[in-house]
Homo-oligomer: A and B are copies of this chain.
Amino acid sequence: MPRVVVDVMLKPEILDPQGQAVANALPRLGVSDVASVRIGRRIEIEFTGEPDLDRAREIADKLLANPVIEDFTVRLAEADETADARS
């Protein structure tokens, strides 16, 4: 059954200290060509029937994202990108 993927990221103008911490750690790993790192959330929603993008958008808006500081996108997962496909 296809899943719906909700990607939640901080808005570009909001500071991301978690991502900055990762970016600052990279030189110690010998990585010097990274300009920035932003960390957000990825949520996979599995429906009992047909995947419902509008319903997923409603869930994201009410429960998964804080619209004041975060943007989200909702889309169908491609066949090769769900957790089951990876395992």
Report which A residues bind B (CB closer than 8 A).
1, 7-13, 19, 22, 25-26, 29, 31, 33-49, 52, 55, 58-59, 62-64, 71, 73, 81, 83-84, 86-87
Are A44 and B9 touching (Cβ within 8 A)? yes
Cβ distance A63 to chain B, nearest Cβ, rounded Å: 6
| Copies in the assembly, this chain | 2
Complex Cα spacing A62 to B28, Å: 12
Are B45 and A42 touching (Cβ within 8 A)? no
Most buried by B among A13, A49, A59: A59
Complex Cα spacing A13 to B9, Å: 26
Are A64 and B34 touching (Cβ within 8 A)? no
